[in-house]
Structures are given as structure tokens and as C-alpha cells.
Chains A and B, each alone.
Chain A
Amino acid sequence: MSQGGIDWMSIAIVLAGVALSITAIVWIGTPLWPEQAQRAKSWLPYILGGLALLMAISTLMSAIGG
């Protein structure tokens, strides 16, 4: 579960929460701030992809740590 004293699973959970928060902001903000939401949507795939990668690494580290 933790390797070197770091709780990697908790890090993965936090990253998942960040990803959900960003998604919620973009989804709710689209009708409210269309222009800003359009610009955010262009970056959203990269942001969510990076967060998913970090989550995968954290989960892997957690699995290695046992």
C-alpha cells in the first residue's frame, strides 16, 4: 500500500478527485461561460489524460508497495 512511507493509493484518489472536479467545472460552466468553456474543452482531453496517467502510476506504485 505504501512504499517508502508514501501512500500512493491516496495520491491516486486525490488525482481522481481533481479530475472529477475539472470535469464538473467544464460541464457546468459550458452553458454559463460558453467562450471560456470552449477554450477549456480544447485543453480538457490533455488535462484529463495527464491526470489519468498520474493515477495509473500511483496505483501501480501502490500495488508494488503491497
Chain B
Amino acid sequence: MSEIFRAYLERQYRRSGAVAPHDRLQVVEDLLDKARSRGVFPVSETVLGRVDPDHPAVKAILDAPPEVTGSSRKSGLFAIQEKFDMKERPKWQQALILLGIVVAIMGSTLGIVWFRAARRHARAATTPTPKPTVTINLAAPSPTVVVYTATPLPSPTPLPPTSTPTPTPIIGEPAEDPAAPVSLEIIGPPLPVYKAELDDQGRWRLPANAVQWLPDSYIRKVFAVGPALSQGWALQTGQRVRVHTRGGYVEEYVLTRRIVNAPGTQVELMQGSRPSVLVVLPHTDSTEVWLAELPEAITWAHMPPEAKEPAWRAVIVVEGAHVREAPSIHAKVLHSLPLGTLLELTGQYVQGDAFVWYAVKSPYSGWVAQGVIRILDLNQP
């Protein structure tokens, strides 16, 4: 609306006293009617102009659409603005509408932000959090618990080696432990020693032309000499026996006694509480067993014959040591004592079957061989 027409229209409103929108609309319609019928139009606030309404040019302008005449009619947002006519509204409505528009814009903005945050949160909730994996360093050795199972002695006790009619081609493997024997010297030059191998039944198959050592027999080293090597040997008490170890040490023993008709299941034969050597010589019709001890132990073995009082204490040093009814390896076994059993001896001792037997007072009554006990109170009167 041009400023000229607005000023003229305001003047007409004041002159006609039109305040209400209905009255003002009537004023506008009257002006339009004057313009169409008589060609009257305002040229200023108080001056009117006039044209011939029937003139073709005037009629063309009056009948033309607003776009052709360059009307100030607005479209789009401006039309909305004019339609709302904010200036006609009270101040509080103006502020309220403006605030509403701002709130709508900022609300939409914050709504978009909230939606994005909610979607991100939902995505994180559905996505499983990768669990820390446990890394096992395969390179690092893991601690292992070694459960030691004591290897039981061959049961029954390994039998004395029996000579095989046909010598086996396999002699045996040499022992590798520094304390293990590598050669045995009894008669003649030192003979190489190999480790014995027991079969599934615990039997010791000795080659005829070899000297074998029973593995793990360190205190009482048990050797077996094949008949092909021991042929013609005449061993005697007092004869020296030398054992060469892998570590280079030479142990010297002395043959102290010969065990005749030694049965094969006697613990006393294979076990010893002090360094000694057991030499087994299997023959075709019999088996010769010799015991060799350290020279300094010989005097200990020969105890004075007088009985000592009070009783001595001794400890069993061989698992399953026998307490017999009589001082003989052929006597009836009364008890089998575990390792570490304390005994009280009467002090009486006798020699039988190449062993020295001690009379046991408690906890059991009987006889035990010298090789299975260690006397604790040696000098006790």
C-alpha cells in the first residue's frame, strides 16, 4: 500500500470515525466503488484525482491481474506476514507470536540434537562391548605341578640274575650318572659295566659276556658278572674289589663273606645301609653271591661277642625289613617293618647265613639282620 493512499485512508478513517474493522472495511469499499464508478483516486492526503473510467486504458488497468499492474501484493512469507498483520495486534500478542516462532526454531534445533544423542546412545547399547580377552602367553611356560609318585620297588624284589643259555646280543646301556659305576675290577683288568634292564616280570636277564649294574643301587651296588667272564674265578674273603665311577672316583671294597644258596626274594640281599658291593655270579647249576664292604666298615661289622646292657636303639633303614623268628634267612618272617621304625635291641647278636642278626626286644620280638638296621646308641653300655 503506498504511503499516499495510506495517509488518505487514515484521514478517511478519522473523518468517518471508523474504528472497528467492519467500519474501516466499509470505508475501503466506498473508496473502491468511487474509483470504479467515477474514476476517483487520491493523489495526496487531501487531494483527489479523477480519470475517465470508461477510457479503454483505464479499464484495462482496473481489470488487469495484480502481477501485470505491479501491484504491491506480496506472496510467500511476506503474504503471511501481511495476513497476520502484526501491527494490528496488541503488544502482548506480538511478543507472544515472536516468542513462539523463536521457541519453535530453537525447539526444533534442540529436538534434532536430542534425537541424535538418543540414536547414538541406542547404537552404543545394542553394540556389545568387546570383552577383554584373556591373552595367554603361550611362550611363557606355565607352572606345572609335578606329582611325584615314588616308583615302587619291583615287586617282588628282583631275582638274582640267571644265566641265559644263549647270550643276548644286547649288553646294555652305560650308566650316565657321575656316581654310577662304569667298570668293575675284581680279577684281572677292569670290566665295563652296563645298566641292567628288568623285564616285565621283574626278572634280570643277564648276558653271559657282560657285567651289569642294577640301576639306582648306589649304597649297595649290585653287580652281576656273566658266566662267560667269571669263568675260572676263585673269589676269596679279603679280596679287593674296585669300582670305577663315571665321575672318576674309585671305590675300594673288600670281599667279606660269601652268601650261599641265597634266595632271590630277600630284601636284605639287595639293600644296604652303608656303602657296599654285592657281586652276583650266576652259574649253570648255582648262583654265587659275594658281599664286599669298605675296609673301615669291616671292624664295625665284627662286634664284640659280649652282650651289652641296657638294650640298644636301632632304626630300620630298609623299607619292608623282616623281623624273623630265628637268626636265619630261612626262618619264618614275623613282621615287615616300614622305613624309620625304631627298635629296641636286647644287645644279643649272632651270626647266621653270612649275616649278623640282632635280637629285637621291642616293639616286636624277633631277629633282624644287620643290613636293614642302623644302630643309634653305639657306645651305650
Contact = CB atoms under 8 A, between A and B. Distances in A.
A1 B120 CA distance: 10
A29 B120 CA distance: 38
Contacts of B108: 17
Interface of A: 1, 7, 9-10, 13-14, 16-18, 20-21, 24-25, 28-29, 31-32
Contacts of B101: 21, 24-25, 28
Contact of A9 (B94, B102, B109, B116): B116
A29 B94 CA distance: 9
B98 A29 contact: yes
B105 A20 contact: yes
B131 to A, nearest CB: 23
B43 interface: no
B contact face: mostly helix, strand, loop, or mixed: helix
Contacts of B116: 7, 9-10, 13
B109 A17 contact: yes
Contacts of B113: 7, 10, 13-14
Contacts of A25: 98, 101-102
Interface residues of B, number: 18
The 7 closest A-B pairs by CB, nearest first: A17-B109, A10-B113, A21-B102, A21-B105, A20-B105, A24-B101, A17-B106
A20 B101 CA distance: 10
Given A7-B117, A17-B108, A31-B81, 7 more contacts: A17-B106, A21-B101, A24-B98, A24-B105, A28-B98, A32-B87, A32-B98
A9 B108 CA distance: 15
| Interface of A: prevailing SS | helix
A12 to B, nearest CB: 10
A39 B117 CA distance: 38
Interface in B102-120: 102, 105-106, 108-110, 112-113, 116-117, 120
Interface string B117-128: 100100000000
A37 B293 CA distance: 127
7 contacts: A7-B116, A14-B110, A17-B105, A20-B109, A24-B98, A28-B98, A32-B98
A6 B305 CA distance: 104
Contacts of A9: 116
A17 B109 CA distance: 5
A54 to B, nearest CB: 14
